[in-house]
Structure 1
Amino acid sequence: LLGTNRSVLFFGHQGFLGFRSLYLDEYRDRLFIGGKDVLYSLLLDRASADAKEIYWPPLPGQTEECFQKGKDPGCEQDHDREGHPCIWSRPGRQEEEGPQGFGLGVGAAAGSLLGGELYTGLTADFLGRDPGIFRSMGTRSALRTEVDQRLLNDPKFVAAPLIPDNDDQDNNKAYFFFTEKVVETDSKEHAIVSRVARVCVNDAGGQRVLVNKWSTFNKARLVCSVPGPGGIDTHFDELEDVFLLRTKDRKSPEIYALFSTTSHVFQGSAVCVYSMADIREVFNGPFAHRESPHHQWGAYEGRVPYPRPGVCPSKTTNQPRQQYGTTKDFPDEVLHFARAHPLMYKPVYPRHRRPLLVKTNLPHRLRQLVVDRVEAEDGQHDVLFLGT
């Protein structure tokens, strides 16, 4: 490659790259490289000549603070003093791509930016004891989930897209795809399940209950399984990656999800495809309920207060005699119910109730997924790119 003059050597800051991650911006022909304490932006056709860099070393005392909190050397490049992640944008043509996706400097985190507001799912402290879904920046008040294992139990966030419900912008919602731990009633062992959760973009928290907390948080299980004999399914529970295939209808992207199995019997990966109509149907369905941790889950059969927990205050959800301009106007009864019933009873099943693709006994674990829709002579095809 060097002999044909088709490549350029780049040695990074003071001859040390400390490479951690990269992102290719096709529209601007730039390559963004995340290194130790530094971020580079390179022009592809003359990388060294037009290199831009942001040098971002730890501030005095941050290295020592890392050591005191039990982290290994080098952790100071990933967090600032409060433990917030380093965030880098994935640049794109905003008018074509909609909300921008983000990569985060912590392994189990995801986020999106909309109108200057940042929606993130991440673990906010060094020891992993404070997971949450956050809204920050922008003009609206900052919000987060309560610290409650019923809402989030050791989650690993994978994606956080913003998807409108309809033409009423007050019904826009942020969706979060993640895995978390659950404890079944008949076992003390933790199981891994995959989830999709959502919150209203115009959520303002409650007035007396859930103050500065999400008041519209709901979550549901994402199922990706292969039907087996005797009704025993083989589940792929560990969500690795999510890709939204945008369609002409902004409200209805197709959700491609890559899963791996947590089984000790065999190793494998599967790709399942979900429709937004099926996801919305589950969130509009019954809430999950159980009397105590020792009881089985069932569908809640009592009276659900109005406005229904999880809906956004908007013209679409208001009734003539019950107008709600903000979640702060919601009755306390609604917020108490939302706090006690964050989980939906029915799971979200994939299209055709089975995976689109299954790969077993691979030498490597599949971790990333990209989908490209192409036109061919015999029609439209979705091409999957899977990376280890």
Structure 2
Amino acid sequence: MLLREDLNVLILGAREAIFALDLDDITVKKAMVKWQVTNKEQKECSNKGKDATNDCKNYIRVLHKRNDDKMYVCGTKAFTPTCDYMSYAGNLTLEDKQEDGKGKCPFDPSQRYTSEMVDGVLYSATSLNFRGSEPVMMRSSEESIRTEFSSTWLNEPNFIHMAHIREGESNPEGDDDKIYLFFSEAAVEYDSYTKVDVSRVARVCKGDLGGLRTLQRKWTSFQKSEAQLSRSKQQPASSGAGCFPLVPGDSSQYSAVCAYKIDDIKTVFSKGKFKAPVPVETSFVKWVMYSGDVPNPRPGACIDNHAREMGFSKSLELPDKTLQFIKDKPLMDQAVEASGGKPLLFKKGAAFTRIVVATATALDETTHQVMFIGTKSGSVLKAVNYDGEMIIMEEIQLFEPSETVKILRLSNTKLYVGSDVGVVQLLINECGRYHTCVDCVLARDPYCGWDLNVGQCSTINSTHTTRTVIQRLSNGDASQCPKIVNSKSVSMSFFHGNTVKLECQPYSNLAQVQWQLNGEPISASNTFQILSDSLMIVNASADAGGHYTCSSVERLFKTQHIAYDLKMWSASGTTALFQVKEKENTLVAVVVVLSLILAMLVIWNVYRGHLPLPFCHRRVQHTREESRNMNQPPEHKLASPTVNLNSNNNHMNDQRFSSSRETDRLSTTVGSSGQISLKYIDDESEI
């Protein structure tokens, strides 16, 4: 997904297609271009053991804007990564200048990767081969360089994010810009019988050209360190719990968001100790802190004023001793600690998958970092940290729980969320979700405040003042909110033994629902089941009747949402019901007796010959009708018609069959077409 705010479009890479969507309304498709694999490419991919229907397609994985306003796009192309150039001028156009995408784009559409376009040059971290066994971080340019194929450098990595930091601008030490890489990998430094994933941060220098003899066309500045969750010593298994911006393991029940200062990372790389492998016995390597002499210039450092003073103006001139040292020992002994020594957010539940951060200006003109966090269960959390206290303002379910949030992109006012099945657009400052003053203030959303003039939760702007808007971010104090008048009770009745459901949906996801019966709190039991949005009364008896209230409690503020007056059918009503049934039974008995007497009289008169048999008369009439029908012209003969129930011409059927209905028996069949078929029954046995 690529935001082109200069063109007011959202460029979206999909399977074998690229879309340009309106940035203000993504349901409006402005353009589309297809980029499909050929039958030959699909067959070759299938012959290599991949699924022809799913794997052997072209999944667009890389989208970047170039300096010339054109876009660089790469796709998996049936496990043959390929890149091309694309432009947009009302239509999307691929320039058909295809080039090899190995090392720029993953082979496997499900494989994690990351990339960054820096001054027209692509930096990427992915796999360089079909099997995914050669992970690399590389720069694609005339001076293309990459990492070593060594577990010391990258060991089963899971690439997360890449960022360009302009550290070289106006730097007094003459330092260079850095490219930072965030990833997780199987740790080589822990003594463990099982694989342990740890969070890492690595960096390279933008001007790195590789070595002359040692590390030819390889990074001479690649260094990595563990990104630690907190100052306290963690067990190895928990150190990969998902620090920002990393993804936790599927088996973890917890996720964390951590912030790291660039200055802290620089200090570890420029002044920290190195780790070194030490052979133990014959088949085991132990990593310990290196305590020997460190070459000069310092291994892993960029070309700066100190290196230039020693006569080294580029990495190709660095001595082999410095290069061999960083080739063998790219891992730092000291971990980079999270800012503040602890996570900003630590939460049990669905694993965090993506994060973006926006800056909001509150009513008092203070700025706050608002985090939008995607989860594996298809939801997005909106959170903010106030002086060490993390507040989750809301969690919005955007996709089905089985659809993971894969992409987050942030513009000035909107958030774009992508999964494997679709894209959703959200306003980041949507305050209309908070329906009452208490909910608005308790949410502690820096974008929102309760506007007393209009009586609604509104987005903070420059015209608002503390006299007209209530916003309490530090403590969520809603005491100044106008008093809420409780709503009228809803009257409900139930039958003995039934299950009764009383619904109540609190507005805030942080609020706790509290139910009361006649002013007394209700606790969960065999009779009462308290759900997130309702109260279930199982096998309700007369004791279940009474006045029920549902309130939400948040930060000691209680708001009543709804009330019910519940009662069982009264005893007098039940007695009246029995009396009615008794009268009905008596009437039925009288009707049955009279019917039997009438039937006996009819049989007696027929036996005595006082009444003719009805079928004889009907048969005669039927014969006359048939004779009359036979004398009609062919087009007037009575056939078996089909009457359309939807027709407005039913009076025609009434005219045509008025006589035949009196003389003939009709059978009616309703078909799936919604029509009624009328047909004659001539056999007396079908009566």
Partner of 1:250: none
Question: Aligned pair in 2 of structure 1 residues 176, 216: CA closer, same or farther (>3 Å)?
Answer: same
Distance 1:88 1:158 in 2: 25
Give the whole-Å Cα distance in 1 for the aligned partners of 2:16 and 2:136. 26
- Stretches of structure 1 lacking an aligned partner (at least 5 in a row): 1-21, 92-101, 241-255
Is 1:121–2:130 an aligned residue pair? no
Distance 2:26 2:336 in 1: 46
Q: Using the alignment, how far apart are the partners of 2:226 and 2:190 within structure 1?
A: 17
Partner in structure 1 of residue 204 of structure 2: 199
The letter for the 1-side match of 2:319 is P
| Range moving further from structure 2, 116-125 or 287-296 | 287-296
Instruction: Confirm or deny: 8 A CA contact 2:255 2:351 kept in the other structure.
Output: yes
Aligned position for 2:238 = 235
The counterpart of 1:278, out of the listed 249, 253, 264, is: 264
What is the match of residue 329 of structure 1? 317
CA–CA distance in 2 between the matches of 1:331 and 1:183?
28
**Residue 84 of structure 1 pairs with residue 81 of structure 2:** yes
Deviation, structure 1 residue 330 = 0.7
In structure 2, the CA distance between the partners of 1:83 and 1:222, relative to structure 1 (3 Å rule), is farther
**For residues 234 and 106 of structure 1, do their structure 2 counterparts lie closer, same or farther at Cα, with a shift above 3 Å needed?**
closer
Deviation at 1:183, TM superposition (A): 4.3
Distance 1:142 1:106, change over 3 A: farther
Contact 1:199 1:214 in 2 (8 A): yes
Q: Secondary structure at the match of 1:33?
A: strand
Aligned-pair distance for 1:261? 5.4
Map of 1:182 onto structure 2: 187
Cα deviation 1:203-249 (Å, max 9, x = unaligned): 11111111111111111111124859xx7698351548xxxxxxxxx
Q: Which runs of 5+ in 2 are unaligned?
A: 60-75, 89-103, 376-687
* 1:103 Cα deviation after fit: 9.4
Aligned to 2:157: 155
Q: What is the match of residue 481 of structure 2? A: none
Question: Is contact 2:160-2:246 (8 Å) kept?
Answer: no
Specify whether residues 355 and 103 from structure 1 end up closer, same or farther in structure 2 by C-alpha distance, changes over 3 A only: farther
The 3-state SS of whatever aligns with 1:297 is strand
1:309 counterpart = 2:299: yes
Tell me, yes or no, if the aligned pair for 2:182 and 2:246 is still in contact at 8 Å: no
RMSD across aligned positions (CA): 3.1
Which AA in structure 2 matches 1:31? L
Number of the residue aligned with 1:253 = none
Q: Tell me how far apart the structure 2 counterparts of residues 356 and 44 of structure 1 sit (CA, whole Å).
A: 31
Correspondent of 1:72 among 51, 55, 76: 51
Q: Which moved more, 1:44-53 or 1:209-218?
A: 44-53
What is the TM-score normalised by the length of structure 2?
0.44
Aligned equivalent of 1:290: 277
Larger radius of gyration: 2
Q: Is the 8 A contact 2:189 2:287 kept in 1?
A: no
| Corresponding letter in the other structure for 1:237 | G
TM-aligned CA deviation for residue 58 of structure 1: 1.0
Distance 2:341 2:27 in 1: 51
SS in 2 for 1:328: helix
| Counterpart among 246, 267, 284 of residue 253 in structure 2 | 267
The superposition leaves residues 244-303 of structure 1 with CA deviations (integer Å, 9 ceiling, x where unpaired) of xxxxxxxxxxxx5355356x5x60111101101111111121111131263543221111
Range moving further from structure 2, 344-353 or 298-307: 298-307
Q: Distance in 2 between matches of 1:156 and 1:188?
A: 21
The 3-state SS of whatever aligns with 1:367 is strand
Q: Is the alpha carbon distance of 1:369 and 1:132 closer, same or farther for their aligned partners in structure 2, counting shifts above 3 Å?
A: same
Query: SS where residue 307 of structure 1 aligns?
Result: coil
For 1:163 and 1:309, how far apart are their aligned partners in 2? 20
2:135 and 2:156 in contact (8 A); partners too: yes
Distance 1:85 1:150, change over 3 A: farther
Count residues in correspondence.
Answer: 331
Q: Is the 8 A contact 2:247 2:351 kept in 1?
A: no
- In structure 1, how many angstroms separate the alpha carbons of the residues matched to 2:237 and 2:294? 34
TM-fit CA distance, 1:351: 1.0
Q: 1:368, CA displacement in angstroms?
A: 1.3
Whichever structure has more helix as a proportion of its residues is 2
**Hey, what's the Cα distance between the residues in 2 that align with 1:220 and 1:71?**
36
Taking every aligned residue pair, what percent have the same amino acid on both sides? 31
Higher relative contact order (CA 8 A, sep 6+): 1
CA distance in 2, matches of 1:84, 1:26: 28
2:363 is matched with which residue? 377
C-alpha distance in 2, partners of 1:198/1:237? 19
- Is 1:344 aligned to 2:332, yes or no? yes
Q: In 1, Cα distance between the equivalents of 2:224 and 2:324?
A: 16
| Residues 196 and 237 in structure 2, CA contact (< 8 A), matched pair in contact too | no
Q: Which residue does the alignment assign to 1:172? A: 177
Query: 1:358: Cα distance to partner?
Result: 0.8
Whole-angstrom CA distance in 1 between matches of 2:277 and 2:186 = 18
Trace 1:244-259 onto structure 2 (pairs within 5 A): 256-259=244-247
Runs of 4+ in 1 over 4 A off after TM superposition: 22-27, 44-50, 85-89, 102-106, 225-228, 231-234
For residues 276 and 134 of structure 2, the distance between their equivalents in structure 1, rounded to whole angstroms, comes to: 25
Contact kept? 1:225, 1:235, Cα under 8 Å: no
1:60 deviates by: 4.7
Q: CA deviation at 1:27?
A: 4.9
Distance 1:213 1:325, change over 3 A: same
